[in-house]
Structure 1
Amino acid sequence: MPPTPIPGTHLDNPFVGATWYVNPDWAANVLNQAQQTGGVLGQKMAKVAQYSTAVWLDRIGAITEGRGLQGHLDEALAQGANLITIVIYDLPNRDCAADASNGELLIAENGLQRYKTDYIDVIYNILAQPQYRDLRIVAIIEPDSLPNLVTNLSVPACAEADATGAYVQGIQYAIDTLHQLPNVYIYLDIAHSGWLGWSDNFQKAVTLYTQVVQGTADGFNSIDGFVTNVSNYTPLEEPYLPDSSLTIGGQPVRSAKFYEWNPYFDELDFAQALRQAFIQQGLPSSIGMLIDTSRNGWGGSSYGRSRPTAPSTNTTNVDVYVDESRVDRRYHRGNWCNQASGIGERPQASPVPGIDAYVWIKPPGESDGVSEPGIVDPVDPNKKFDRMCDPNGQNLYNSAYPTGALPNAPHAGRWFPEHFEILVQNAYPPIQP
């Protein structure tokens, strides 16, 4: 066991030796469904309730409504936990390239100032209270924001976020504010391999993130690392596709339709390569990566195919070889909404070198977005229907493929029992009853 750290010291890896907070609100949904389901499947569901998931602060109101941030921190202390993960997620023009998680703040309506004063400052004032100084508070900063500046500037809301500097300034303000507390650990979201894996996107992302971090008050020492695969489904490893340059029928496997020349097939390779790239840019070697493994297990069977147990034996057709070898069974790698995957690796500290932890940022069982138009979320009316969540729709990036989204989904963040059942059935490693 590592030595018990002195309270107030900033650790290299906050997850090591920590007791992780379990959100009782999420766990209640899990246990309720487990009880209703019964049998062996119900027993498996109940096992899931023991794991730590992140608390999403996706509106100004979320800081205080219901249990609220303070309530979660108090509950963490009551549990005897000393680590809690929160998600900072309310930039103006949030989710600028999609609709399912549109936010409440707009750049054109003084959104950046409100983000600073009504959101970040309020969170800081709660976290800074002395009774929480021994809690290790992990802050996940603004999923999907900076990646949209890398690839989606053709979308007007993203172009506005770029041209005004609102995303960069908002994130730098969040980092500078929260970094003042030695017990807060800051990890910047950096998408996933299926978004930023191509060499152009990879290099642009490393350059942009380096500039953003360099521009904070404490520069490269202001963050603890980066997090990949937040709310996504990209597998940790593709065990039967370890070499993206392997040739089948004279073609490298990365040229297959599923990978579209992207050399990164899985999150572990992507995350470790990113870490090395940032260290080469001057960030300290103490930085670590987190990977969201809540829904990237891909066991069982989905989309008409079971998890492969060996590489394909096809030697002539690269697409057949890849499709028969990959554990990621989505129709298209860009499919992000309510996919029929499985729960992945359980949360754990230091699983492999360079990775601070596998974490569950997206709580399994919570929807990615509503599956049909015309339904208003009474608590958060800004959330809209996104066509990538339409179970009868086609992928927006390539209309040759369906979305693969499950039907009957509620709005993003709402409990989705049918999805949770599939996630438990398809868990990998499997969940033992």
Structure 2
Amino acid sequence: MRSRSRRPRDRAAVRPLAVAATLALTAAPVVAVASSASAAERVDNPFVGADQYVNSYWASNVTQAAAEAGGELGEKMLTLTDTPTSVWMDRTSAIEGNVDGPGLRYHLDAALEQQQGSTPMVFNLVIYNLPGRDCYALASNGLLPATAAGLAEYENEYIDPIADMLAEPQYADLRVVATIEPDSLPNLVTNMSEPKCQQSAPFYRAGVAYALDRLYEAGNVYSYIDAAHSGWLGWDSNAGPAVDVFHEVVTSTDHGYDTVAGFVTNTANSTPLHEPFLEDTTFGSGGGTQVRQAEFYEWNRDFDELDWTEHLYSLATAAGFPSDIGMLIDTSRNGWGGPDRPTAPSTSTVLNTYVDETRVDRRTHRGAWCNPDGAGLGERPTVAPTDNAASHLDAYVWVKPPGESDGGSTDIPNDQGKGFDRMCDPTFNSPKLAGKLTGAKAGAPLAGQWFQEQFEMLVANAYPAIDGDGGPVDPDTQAPTAPTGLEATASTATSVALSWDASTDDTGVTGYTVRVDGTVATTAAGTSATITGLTPDTTYEVTVTARDAAGNVSAASAPLTVTTSSDGGGGDTQAPSVPTGLAAGDVTTSSVALSWNASTDDVGVTGYRVLRGGQVVANVTGTSATVTGLAADTAYSFQVVAVDAAGNASAASAALSVTTDEEASTPGGACTVTYQANSWNNGFTGNITLRNDSSAAVSAWDLTFSFPSGQQITQVWSAQFTQTGSAVTITPAAWTTSIPAGGSVSFGFNGTHSGTNTTPSDFALDGVDCDVA
């Protein structure tokens, strides 16, 4: 049970004066509901030991979508009909029910019917109707004005009826998990230059505080405050002020910290749960560049939602929030699976290219929030996930029901107060996205309405993938074993050389992360690493974790305490000579054998690092190594560095360029192209799926075709293109270079037309005609 100090206070005395005066005139006295005393005892994590309500209205939409999609895709959809999703109260009329669906009581009664015996039932609810709602967007604006009258209506006609209904005796044993006002408080951190947000700010603070108090008084509600996502608030300059706002609002309530069970992140967003191949470390051999400097991350060290929830928990508890607060992450649309999902880090030595080819988040910009094209379903709702203990996760939840639109891609008249936001327009180069296209999916209806094409995409791109024959494929959730045998093999005044015993994993270890005093210092593909840039005569604690391809991370190794030597001279500071004679031996489609001449050193060479594209891919003690896992018919650059017992490293050898062997070319007539296009005005978005129908893999391919009506491509994703007149040549992205036998790749593009958008039909793969589906 959560035990927190209650903070009774005069609410009007701690809020902005203009709002305090309004409350004095309009707010009815809060009367405790007698029936709430019979509610079940509060627990630390409401999801533990409980079932969750399945929204039958959403499930029926999924069933209809499956019938429309048909085939294997439809079968996959049907496995989702028992998945719990949140019920949204997105305007006052939703309480009683409106054209978009049944009311709150319908769902509460249905939850009671689904409850099995004495097993607790969680009812996921979204409170979303503040005055001046979504002050920095248009697609999800509400009906209540940012005025004193709007606040009074919000409190008396929206929050009070919801809280009173939840407090009725028959619902007392439900565990109602409420997501509180998505995007509202985060807007007060980053968007206060917008006049609408300035006007809405006092009503956001007052409205959220009122909602927290009234829902807490119902006795059975666990409120989680919306905390945006890592790509919005992850920067230190945003995260600290955000926690200050959360703290200010919560401590202004009558019941203080007792009103809050925790925070929920990524609501209705698509930021990945975990970036499996990216760490916030240095990039390249020089050590002066950070991965977070890439254009996509803009110095934000929180690459994903596990990063952000860990960061948020640390700041919130430091600010005074109780240590037993929990975190929820909306994983409904952040899977980013499908053929475009990277399966290994890029080999590029250019930072932006490396990040763009390595990240699983395929959006044009982290601020692109509306119906992102290429997204997929994420982790299924999960109780008390163990992916990152420091995040203090209560659950993964599906707050945003997959298949419901984020906003119309064109201006659609409506009576819901929802405007046309150009962030939902796939043709728009948004200033909010540094001039990039929004990447939104075309043909979208109003926010909250069913979007069949998007749902088909989300299911097709699910990660973990869905098995249509029997439900979700079991994802790889087993972490590697913790590294053992961590030891320092050498040290200087500013560096420490480390080695450890290999971890094991059910699918295979892909790398290791070395932390110094809890901070990531470096990563390694093998079982050794050297940490540089340390301070002389200083003691450090070092640990190592292992990770696998699914992003599972092991427990940390036993800590190793190391002390650098004093900077007084006398130690071995002479580096080995530069390795010479680097040469390639056997070369296959996926591997290169390397050898070189031994280096010399005043004390003795202890090993060599093999670099590919400037990144360490192997650590060996002899003068040869075989690098595997390469792509066919691809040029790679290799170098070797020698290391001695003191950790001194030589300069890198002269670079050797090696091209892997080419795989068999495409047999004639062994390819199929599926072409789809959505047009608007003089623009269109196209998507091509290229299937290799042959019995051999195809590498370094090119696909050619001509536009019959002179259409022009302006942008391609997941591939590269050239166009001369109407003739187009598509070549692969780094992660789609090889198409396995029977496999396929997909890519998309935006283009223009002059009024006629005729489908091309003369597709050829490597000069051989393809069938067109």
Number of the residue aligned with 1:329: 362
The answer to whether the Cα contact below 8 Å between 2:406 and 2:446 also exists between their aligned partners in 1 is yes
Shift of 1:113: 0.8
Number of the residue aligned with 2:238: 201
Tell me, in whole angstroms, the C-alpha distance in 1 between the residues paired with 2:218 and 2:420.
Answer: 38
The answer to whether the Cα contact below 8 Å between 1:229 and 1:267 also exists between their aligned partners in 2 is yes
Shift of 1:429: 0.4
**Aligned residue among 282, 288, 307 for 2:320:** 282
- Alignment partner of 1:22 is 2:54: yes
Tell me, in whole angstroms, the C-alpha distance in 1 between the residues paired with 2:184 and 2:50.
Answer: 29
Tell me, in whole angstroms, the C-alpha distance in 2 between the residues paired with 1:371 and 1:109.
Answer: 33
* 1:3-82 matches, cutoff 5 A: 8-65=40-97, 66-80=101-115, 82=121
**Aligned residue among 145, 152, 155 for 1:106:** 145
Tell me, in whole angstroms, the C-alpha distance in 2 between the residues paired with 1:400 and 1:393.
Answer: 9
Normalised TM-score (structure 2): 0.53
Tell me, in whole angstroms, the C-alpha distance in 1 between the residues paired with 2:403 and 2:49.
Answer: 27
* 1:284-433 matches, cutoff 5 A: 284-301=322-339, 306-315=340-349, 317-340=350-373, 341-352=375-386, 353=389, 354-373=392-411, 375-378=412-415, 380=416, 382-433=417-468
Shift of 1:107: 1.9
Tell me, in whole angstroms, the C-alpha distance in 2 between the residues paired with 1:326 and 1:338.
Answer: 19
The structure with the larger Rg is: 2
CA deviation profile, 1:262-311 (whole Å, cap 9, x unmatched): 1110001111221121111121111000000000000004xxxx111111
- Alignment partner of 1:192 is 2:229: yes
Number of the residue aligned with 2:280: 244
Distance 1:37 1:398, change over 3 A: closer
Tell me, in whole angstroms, the C-alpha distance in 1 between the residues paired with 2:250 and 2:431.
Answer: 32
More helix by share: 1
Tell me, in whole angstroms, the C-alpha distance in 2 between the residues paired with 1:368 and 1:113.
Answer: 28
Tell me, in whole angstroms, the C-alpha distance in 2 between the residues paired with 1:412 and 1:103.
Answer: 11
Tell me, in whole angstroms, the C-alpha distance in 2 between the residues paired with 1:126 and 1:410.
Answer: 31
What SS does the corresponding residue of 2:432 show, helix, strand or coil? coil
CA RMSD of aligned residues (A): 1.3
Number of the residue aligned with 2:123: 84
Number of the residue aligned with 1:125: 164
Number of the residue aligned with 2:534: none
Tell me, in whole angstroms, the C-alpha distance in 1 between the residues paired with 2:359 and 2:434.
Answer: 21
The answer to whether the Cα contact below 8 Å between 2:334 and 2:377 also exists between their aligned partners in 1 is yes
- Alignment partner of 1:211 is 2:248: yes
Tell me, in whole angstroms, the C-alpha distance in 2 between the residues paired with 1:259 and 1:11.
Answer: 38
The answer to whether the Cα contact below 8 Å between 1:85 and 1:137 also exists between their aligned partners in 2 is yes
Q: Work out which structure has the larger RCO, using CA pairs closer than 8 Å and 6 or more positions apart in sequence.
A: 1
What SS does the corresponding residue of 2:466 show, helix, strand or coil? coil
CA deviation profile, 1:343-394 (whole Å, cap 9, x unmatched): 0000011002310000000000000000001x2235x2x0111000001111
Tell me, in whole angstroms, the C-alpha distance in 2 between the residues paired with 1:205 and 1:345.
Answer: 27
Shift of 1:312: 1.1
Shift of 1:166: 0.9
Give the stretch that moved more between structures: 288-297 or 209-218: 209-218
The answer to whether the Cα contact below 8 Å between 1:307 and 1:327 also exists between their aligned partners in 2 is yes
Amino acid at match of 1:16: V
Distance 1:399 1:269, change over 3 A: closer
- Alignment partner of 1:181 is 2:218: yes
Shift of 1:36: 2.0
The answer to whether the Cα contact below 8 Å between 2:167 and 2:219 also exists between their aligned partners in 1 is no
Tell me, in whole angstroms, the C-alpha distance in 1 between the residues paired with 2:281 and 2:43.
Answer: 38
The answer to whether the Cα contact below 8 Å between 2:147 and 2:203 also exists between their aligned partners in 1 is no
More strand by share: 2
Amino acid at match of 2:52: W
**Aligned residue among 160, 169, 174 for 2:206:** 169
Number of the residue aligned with 2:733: none
Shift of 1:246: 2.4
Shift of 1:7: 5.5
Give the stretch that moved more between structures: 416-425 or 280-289: 280-289
User: What count of residue pairs does the alignment treat as equivalent?
Assistant: 417
What SS does the corresponding residue of 2:153 show, helix, strand or coil? helix
What SS does the corresponding residue of 1:161 show, helix, strand or coil? helix
Number of the residue aligned with 2:257: 220
Shift of 1:399: 4.5
Shift of 1:37: 1.7
Tell me, in whole angstroms, the C-alpha distance in 1 between the residues paired with 2:85 and 2:453.
Answer: 19
The answer to whether the Cα contact below 8 Å between 1:388 and 1:396 also exists between their aligned partners in 2 is no
* 1:124-143 matches, cutoff 5 A: 124-143=163-182
Tell me, in whole angstroms, the C-alpha distance in 2 between the residues paired with 1:270 and 1:218.
Answer: 27
**Aligned residue among 230, 233, 238 for 2:267:** 230
Distance 1:195 1:63, change over 3 A: same
The answer to whether the Cα contact below 8 Å between 1:221 and 1:284 also exists between their aligned partners in 2 is no
Normalised TM-score (structure 1): 0.94
What SS does the corresponding residue of 1:42 show, helix, strand or coil? helix
The answer to whether the Cα contact below 8 Å between 1:194 and 1:333 also exists between their aligned partners in 2 is yes
- Alignment partner of 1:153 is 2:192: yes
Tell me, in whole angstroms, the C-alpha distance in 1 between the residues paired with 2:320 and 2:298.
Answer: 31
The answer to whether the Cα contact below 8 Å between 2:368 and 2:433 also exists between their aligned partners in 1 is no
Amino acid at match of 2:284: I
Amino acid at match of 2:251: Q
Give unmatched runs, 5+ long, in structure 2.
1-37, 469-773
Amino acid at match of 1:39: G
The answer to whether the Cα contact below 8 Å between 2:39 and 2:172 also exists between their aligned partners in 1 is yes
Tell me, in whole angstroms, the C-alpha distance in 1 between the residues paired with 2:66 and 2:249.
Answer: 44
What SS does the corresponding residue of 1:107 show, helix, strand or coil? coil
Shift of 1:112: 0.6
The answer to whether the Cα contact below 8 Å between 1:332 and 1:395 also exists between their aligned partners in 2 is no
Give the stretch that moved more between structures: 168-177 or 388-397: 388-397
CA deviation profile, 1:169-217 (whole Å, cap 9, x unmatched): 1100000111012311010001000000111001100111111111111
- Alignment partner of 1:264 is 2:302: yes
Amino acid at match of 1:115: Y
The answer to whether the Cα contact below 8 Å between 2:69 and 2:456 also exists between their aligned partners in 1 is no
Amino acid at match of 2:223: I
Tell me, in whole angstroms, the C-alpha distance in 1 between the residues paired with 2:433 and 2:89.
Answer: 32
The answer to whether the Cα contact below 8 Å between 1:248 and 1:321 also exists between their aligned partners in 2 is no
Amino acid at match of 1:405: A
What SS does the corresponding residue of 2:455 show, helix, strand or coil? helix
Tell me, in whole angstroms, the C-alpha distance in 2 between the residues paired with 1:219 and 1:63.
Answer: 27
Amino acid at match of 1:215: S
Shift of 1:38: 1.7
CA deviation profile, 1:309-338 (whole Å, cap 9, x unmatched): 1111122x1101101110000011110000
Amino acid at match of 1:49: T
CA deviation profile, 1:210-247 (whole Å, cap 9, x unmatched): 11111111212220000000000000000100x22322
